[in-house]
Structure 1
Amino acid sequence: MSAASQALAARIPDAQVKTAFGQTTAHVPLHAWSEAARHARDELGCAQFDWLGVEDAGRPGAVGQRHAVLLHVLDPDTKDGVLLRTELGPDDVLPSVAAQWAGAAWHEREAAEMFGIALAEGEPAHLLLPDGFSGHPLRKDFVLASRVVRPWPGRLEPGEDGTSAPSRRRTAPPGVPDPSWGPRYERSEEDTRD
């Protein structure tokens, strides 16, 4: 990130500026989120919206309890930008920045639907998921049932004959819950062919 972007981040009110891996971020408290966004647009000239994203920042045992929201905006003339970051707890509501950048509305709706974040304007209509879908698929605690119902169709590991336990403990891929969860699937002859 350029020195100009670092200078922009340093001018955000109530922000703690941190640089890691070449990326400078202005960390702002949730109550200052809207004001920091307005300041970036009006005072710093960052009139171009780039993206808004969410990270499930939960720690083991507290997954889905804390989210980080990131906003990247640019100065259209210099192409220098600023990255704003705030954190939400399980009961916090994200103030909208769509009044500053209309394109942010879509990103905020996606965050609400995929991560379960509460928005200030209430529950949005479904954007990406079908009606009746339950859960938030981008959270770490969302169970990827397709990985449980049908096992990997590839070759067996050395030492596995399909009936006995594997010779070493196999780790489950991300998103796969405890083996006792969900329906059982019996391998057929067709699944065990090479």
Structure 2
Amino acid sequence: MTSRALAGLIPDATAKTAFGQTTAHVPAAGYRRAAETAHALGCLMFDWLGVEDAGRPGASGRVHAVLLHVVHPATTAGLLIRAELADEPLPSVADLWAGAAWHEREAAEMFGLALDHPVDRLLLSDSFAGHPLRKDFVLASRVVRPWPGRLEPGEDGTSAPSRRRTAPPGVPDPSWGPRREDR
């Protein structure tokens, strides 16, 4: 059975195939039922579960797309089940595929998804605040602390004043543009 046929048997799914990968788009309420149907139809190999921050707010929270990839071992046909969750908790599929438990815990911790069962911290310490894989999470950068490495020539003020800084590749020399006197 092909993955396109598998996706056609999942209730309330819209199946699309692109680049050899069939994706079944299901509503949030049908995510668990779609996973159960795929498991009953022979997709017994769990491959991965991922989350995508859609970057837009929902009614009372952010919208996340949950992607579940499973494989039919006899045909090696993969099926990607995709559902967008806004406010509802992510239903667990760990009872169908044991490997999904780790992925669900990662999604809860890194994206802030609510799960339908309690979970412990997996990757981050208890004192860590926020969800680092969301688009609205601000990462610490060199702006807070200057680069500790060696400075480039001309940046420390000790190099010879005659040393000319070179332009990056592809940038024409100043003779091609407007002159400072012309401005």
Q: Give the structure-2-normalised TM-score.
A: 0.75
Tell me which amino acid in the other structure corresponds to 1:68: A
Cα distance in structure 1, aligned partners of 2:150 and 2:82: 42
Equivalent position SS for 1:39: helix
Tell me which amino acid in the other structure corresponds to 2:134: R
Which residue matches 1:116?
A: 112
Change over 3 Å in CA distance of 1:147–1:29 after alignment to 2: farther
Change over 3 Å in CA distance of 1:27–1:147 after alignment to 2: farther
Q: Which range moved further: 12-21 or 133-142?
A: 12-21
Which residue matches 1:100?
A: 96
Which residue matches 1:76?
A: 73
Check if 1:31 corresponds to 2:29: yes
What are the equivalent positions in structure 2 for 1:1-194 lying under 5 Å apart?
4-42=2-40, 44-59=41-56, 62=57, 65-89=62-86, 91-122=87-118, 124-151=119-146
Change over 3 Å in CA distance of 1:57–1:5 after alignment to 2: same
Change over 3 Å in CA distance of 1:100–1:142 after alignment to 2: same
Considering only aligned residues, what root-mean-square deviation do their CA atoms show, in Å?
A: 2.5
Structure 1: tracts of 5 or more residues without a match: 164-194
Give the fraction of aligned pairs with identical amino acids, expressed as a percent: 65
Kindly provide the CA deviation profile for residues 2-30 of structure 1, in whole angstroms up to 9, marking residues without a partner as x. x9222222221110112344432101111
Q: Cα distance, 1:80 vs. partner?
A: 1.1
Change over 3 Å in CA distance of 1:71–1:151 after alignment to 2: same
Check whether the contact 1:8–1:81 (CA below 8 A) recurs between aligned residues: no
Q: Give the structure-1-normalised TM-score.
A: 0.71
Structure 2: tracts of 5 or more residues without a match: 158-183
Cα distance in structure 2, aligned partners of 1:80 and 1:20: 14
Equivalent position SS for 2:5: helix
Q: Cα distance, 1:154 vs. partner?
A: 7.3
Tell me which amino acid in the other structure corresponds to 1:8: L
Tell me which amino acid in the other structure corresponds to 1:103: G
